[in-house]
Structure 1
């Protein structure tokens, strides 16, 4: 009921003010009394009806058929407004005094319609709409009440100024009250708004004083209207103007004070934005109209000065309803950069435009010249701006360096990502290192089932409002797109079918909105991540296809096994290189340091023997690491060939083991492919390991011959085995691996064994398998293996 009654009052006042503005013509003439008590025209403001018709020095005799002293606007405010006819006396150059009667035009003039009625009315309607929006969104917040009052007082002050200028009594009271209360309501809003940050702004006693002064100003204005006596006759301007200026300067002082205190914490942006918004909104009005008016000077009309006030409600409406701030540092850096960039073309356009317009050519010729000149300068500007953006823009926006460095770092790291969890962890680390945000989480959003928490994210921290917003926006998600949510921001980082991987970022700590550079950086991260997501899913699909192939064939096909063995060899070489270049070298360094200490220092005999034991143990570890590296990466295997490589292997094996190896080979072993050479070497390695560990053999016979294929024969005198046990891969992993390696090369293998009578193995490999012919044997060289 209160809201409805308040709305009715606002509408009635707006209708009344509209009627008083539209029905009367603004005359704009100030008068004063001369030494003889006559009313003399002092000045007429340019743009109003009286300008050029009522001249300074004209003696006003009658207004609307009565004495000028009896006319209400003359008696109360020393101006002529609301008159229908004006009779005046004017001294002519020849000394004759001429009596002139002027008939004032009815209604508002077309030349004043825009500034006096249309813009003020639109502003009032806009502020009323803002007020309604705030009430619907935040009616439970006490700060909303003061924000609404600030909006409406600003709107009515702007709209009633024209009615007050026409000396309408109610319009005068409305303008005085609303204009005086604008800064007071604004202070109350700021005071209440900052309480949510536990930040006191203005003491209660200050508000009591401001409201008392406002009440006194309104009372003085009412007395002036009713009696025609101005209690504050010594002031050039209305008392509401110096009060308006003082309260705004007080507000600016308090904002500067708060900004200095919080210039290095999270509230810095809040006070910086508030201070700059207040300066941009109120200072043009104060400096260009308010202060000059105190000294009787008019630089610009109040209608023009009031236009700057329109920026204030928009800024605070956004701050209050979204609880976010503009990234003022980002805006100022870009604004300053573009001001500097625009200076040169603006100067050129102004200079050439002035030269062109001074020419006395045909009008259309000058317009063509002006068009060509502006077109050419703008083209040069846009062309030059690309270079300026590259060279100078980072100087104005330091974050550009951080964003570029982040992208370079991230693109390097994702090359080593093998799992989705690793990718998401990298993304979280990168976001937390660049943006002022504490909470991030990954969500999976399915177009059919909606969002759910990722298995690697704490989705419980994601607000319910964010989940609901993502559910509503599921139909329009796309990789790289940002989704506006009630709390923070969501970015689509990847996609698999109808499922999207969405990164949720909470609001920034400094409560600013994500700026354009940050959004662009997030979009680039998303595009990088989407490619990695796609590759990871391709790998998952490949693994699924391989598993299905295993199930269909009850084992892997030869090409799959070859791929697996090649990958395994690559990892062996990589691990061997790491061991050789890190652990082995470190061991050698410490071994040499230990030897140096033992040789260069005298020490007790028992300590020396202890160190000798340590040195021998360290030397054993070095030999073990070296042998491990040689086994994992046989040295010079390709250069020596299979026969010489096996010879070296047998020499080392007999040193470490208790069996004797008899090695026979035909003389015409041709050069084998690198893959076959490595496969035969690994097979013999595994057979020797089996002979030593399981067979307990004392004699091992190995032979290689080549005809139309490569044939490897193995025989030992060990304990033997039941051939049925070969099916148990857990008991004989080595022999099972040999079978799989032979099958990967499309060869054949036969086992012959009886318990107590040793083991015989016969392996036959084709010189060039069908699969190798199709794929090309050269592709299996070390340099082309994966990794």
Structure 2
């Protein structure tokens, strides 16, 4: 029932909203003469006042002229005021001469300012409001109210000067209710995000009372008594400006208070949007208007309002924010680039057009418009360049595209030889050099070894100056000798390997883009070389390490274990989705075959049943393997439940008796990897007991305090000599276990001797 009522209310509001827009559009397209009439002593209807917004203002009709006819019909008296306001054909007696005046066609520039831009804004608001409506919360309601009131205010501001009562009432309500909705939207958003604890009830009450007072005052002025327009207009602008300034000030305060939290990008977005939308209007139009010195016309200030629907609706509708810091840095950079050309263009334009207005005012108007368009254009250009550069520049000499393609190929490289071949091929295709050579320099023996990978070996000779450059190189930057380039690829022990690229085949010198490309691409290659060497060294150390030694790189060990877990998950998924499903399908077919064919000979049926039972065992084994590779229960049931299930499975298939005890272990871990590593440690210990120790009894216990988790493992197996070289080099299971513990910054101690079983004491930080 509540949902149905909400839909009815929403339909009603949107219908009223559209109806009001249609009414305002009709008022805009109707001609407005701008004449106010009165009666002279001869009972003539005379022109009392001419509004500057009316079309009569641009004619020679003046105050005191006699109105003879409206739309070809005689004027009867003051009752014709309403008919006169929207007249497009007037007969006027001016200086004893009767002249007929016709309203000119509305200029496109006026339509653009008064109708097209506001309606584009309105359509955008309407579409976004329909989307926001799906959110079903108070924040979305306040935002929809604010957006719709903003669009009504923007459109009505162009009609309010026509002295239409309906349009004036719409402006009075939409302007005040819009700013109150904005105020409520700000606080509702932060309450929803739990950034503040309670509503500003006192300030909100005062704000609402002040807003209602201004609405009533304007209605009184409109319907009952003419008050000074400066009083009513200024009060509306003051109330609007105070709300916006207070809201922006509150946003600044909250941003300073919470800028070190995860909410920092969201708060910055919330601050930037109203600043862009309202600051130009308040400080360049509203406040100068109150002081009688308007700088920026309302139509130009209104362009900044487009930041409202785009910005706030983006925040409401999306969960992932754009990098506001990056955007602000780009805007700052493009602002700097645009400043000087904008000033020059503004001076030129201001001096050649719009002679009917003040030069300073013309300059400011042109400056803000051109400056904004320049910054937007540069931002869009960057996006377009990124999106279409591959389509626009497909030639091989497009160095940026070459780097993109090369880095994609690097991800597949697993060996040093592959990397060297890939690098040489890329350099040949882009630079087309005469020769490419690798030079290895041994800093201990001062010996050089040269390998030519491309071109004629006779074309490359290592000169004394090149040797001096290599020996002097400490930074790894690009080295230049005559028409050739060299750069260090990697260091290994006391040896440094350089790539030297000979002169280009077309005998032109290397340009700055090619040098930059070479430096950039070698940096990528250098990283891959270092990773390949590090992985190779680590694998070698794992094979040769004493089980008591600590690994050289904890972070690399952690990375390799995470990589291994990723592969285990992939293998488990492949097994489950292919082999296991196929086994189940064939098992069911076999079962149906046995059930549906009772006339099968008994000996054949017996064999089929054996095959069926064997398939059941295979299915169970695959499921067990999948669970070991990817323990789903660890995510769903937690560590302790997963370990109990693991121990139960082991107890069913191993020969030793297993005792275990867990003493109030908390399930709160900083990350999943810690839980998974503890699970893998127990898995390795129990596998080791099953395969190697020949134990008959295994006991495991785990407990914790505020900072540490403790694991104690004991078995009565055959044990081993801790000092035996064979054990040190070939006990890979315990070495991997030790590496896993060290990757968690933990400690592990092995206690064993021949015939005395094994004890393992593990400590892992919480």
Normalization by structure 2: what TM-score?
0.43
